[in-house]
Structure 1
Amino acid sequence: MLSAVIIEDEVLAAERLRILLQDCQVTLLHHFEHPQTALEWLSQHQVDVAFVDIGLPEIDGLQLVERLNRSSGVPPKVIFTTAYEEHALKAFDLAAVDYLLKPIKMTRLQAALERIEPHKNTDEFTAFKVMSRERMVEIPWQKSRYLVAEEKSVILVTADGKTYDLPKTLIYWEELLGERVIRIHRNALVMRHGLDSLVRLPGKHVDDTANWGAKILDLEEVLPVSRRQLANLRKQMRAR
């Protein structure tokens, strides 16, 4: 399941695209009306595809994508949306996946999405399936932040602070999620995209070394980092 953001200042156009994406089973993570807000969010979050309107206020869509491409993170695939054809050449110079004219048609949107994910592997992990209010729901892995083992269960914590019980063991989820997660403690896995920074905690270990914690993106929690995992965690963060 692809994840997406919409960067569009026209409310009706954004709503139409949202409905089309829902029909295409694309998870919409956010809608931004202002380009600067979108840039700030994208500097800290990962998403598969960004639908960018060219006629944005203050910073037009072409300038926004130029800034994204110069950023140190992993930029999303870009699909431009516009009412005009004259920007197409510049759009493709910026390695855009596609250039959709408004009003966007379902067939054109599906063709654009096919360019991003042409051979979808149905066995690839895309979402956690959890019970919520007596029904099964799917939580896209991009919305998760960390997993923690508590007694005989594993708890999934999402970006909005909600918690869900998961089946299986923490080791099972570590193997399934692979490079998406980093182990910070024997009872905790943090999603790579959800790891904000390392912070020094008050107090010291018995051998007089400092305590360290992992600050989690979007949340107030600081999770303890074990000494065994500290060196690897620092190495992983330097490589980002």
Structure 2
Amino acid sequence: MLSAIIVEDEVLAAERLRVLLEECNVVLLKIFHHAQPALDWLSIHEVDIVFADIGLPEITGLDFVERIKRVAKKQPEIIFTTAYEEHALRAFELAAADYLLKPIKVSRLQTALERLNEKHREKADDFTHFKVFNRNRMVEIPWQQVRYLLAEHKTVFLFTGDGQSYELPKTLVYWEELLGEKVIRIHRNALVFRHTLDCLIRLDNGEEDDNNATWGARILDVEKPLAVSRRQLAAIRKILREG
């Protein structure tokens, strides 16, 4: 899933975009009504997309993007939102990913998001190694040796087939976006590499029907099954059938 923030001084416009992003399965991290708080946030946090109104009250959206380039911890994709067409050329000169006219149509938003999703999938195809620290030195681990990623207490851990674990930077959402089709989310705090999925097993001994049962996923080289959320059961069963 892509993550986003909205920088929009009109409350109704921001709410409209929030609803559309929810419909499009985009993780909305923050809404800002002024530029400076958004810039302060971007200097500390990472996000995939910034939806920026061209006509912000303190500075123009174009100036805002120039400042993002100077302060952002990670350079996000920029999608401008505006009721006017005349800024489009300058927006694309700033390498904006897209330019959406208000009122924004869900079909037009989906087109912009599909383009960015494709871009992220291409990045996933290029990914070959995790870089982790082990005993104060950098180690490269091929992704094929990794079994799953687990988020615990705001930290993400990588687990390999030989039982080793390493701390990773960034969030679970970041890794889910980067790794794309290589992984499947089995729980809100766990990503599993698809090629390591073995089977599903029931973790309870009750008589309930399958829909109300507690399930776990057997992972290659991992002794204990990992908990599976009910929301993800159908997707995991599909992968196992196709495999």
- TM bin, normalised by shorter chain, reads 0.5 to 0.7
Residue in structure 2 matched with residue 87 of structure 1 by the alignment: 87
Q: Does 1:191 align with 2:189?
A: no
**Match of residue 25 from structure 1:** 25
What displacement does 1:188 show?
A: 7.3
Task: State the alpha-carbon separation in 1 of the partners of residues 19 and 118 from structure 2.
Answer: 22
Question: In the aligned structure 2, how far is the partner of 1:50 from the partner of 1:174?
Answer: 37
> Which runs of structure 2 are paired with 1:61-80 in the superposition (5 Å)?
61-71=61-71, 73-80=73-80
Following superposition of structure 1 onto structure 2, how do residues 1-240 of structure 1 map, counting pairs within 5 Å? Answer: 1-71=1-71, 73-118=73-118, 156-158=152-154, 170-172=157-159, 189=167, 191-192=169-170
The alignment partner of 1:99 has SS state of strand
Contact 1:81-1:99 at 8 Å conserved across structures:
yes
Q: Is 1:46–1:193's contact at 8 Å kept on the other side of the alignment? A: no
Contact map agreement 1:50 1:78 (CA 8 A) in 2: yes
Distance 1:32 1:53 in 2: 11
How far is 1:6 from its partner?
0.3
Separation (CA, whole Å) in 1 of partners of 2:160 and 2:18: 31
Helix, strand or coil at the partner of 2:118: coil
Give the conservation status (yes or no) of the 8 Å contact 1:45–1:193: no
Distance 1:72 1:12, change over 3 A: closer
TM-score with structure 2 setting the length: 0.53
Deviation at 1:157, TM superposition (A): 2.0
C-alpha RMSD of the superposition: 2.9
Amino acid at match of 1:32: F
Aligned length: 144
Distance change in 2, residues 1:173/1:37 (3 Å) = farther
Aligned partner of 1:143 in structure 2 is: none
Aligned amino acid, residue 89 of structure 2: L
Structure 2 runs not aligned, ≥5 long? 125-149, 173-243
Tell me if structure 2 keeps the 8 A contact 1:78–1:96.
Answer: yes
Contact 1:9 1:33 in 2 (8 A): yes
Partners of 2:19 and 2:64 in 1: CA distance: 24
Q: TM-score, normalised by structure 1?
A: 0.53
Change (3 A) 1:174 1:45: farther
**Structure 1 CA distance for aligned equivalents of residues 5 and 160 of structure 2:** 27
* Paired-residue identity, %: 55
Unaligned runs of 5+ in 1: 125-153, 160-165, 176-185, 195-240
Paired with 1:111 and 1:171, the residues of 2 have a C-alpha distance of 34
Secondary structure, counterpart of 1:172 in structure 2: strand
Aligned twin of 1:225 = none
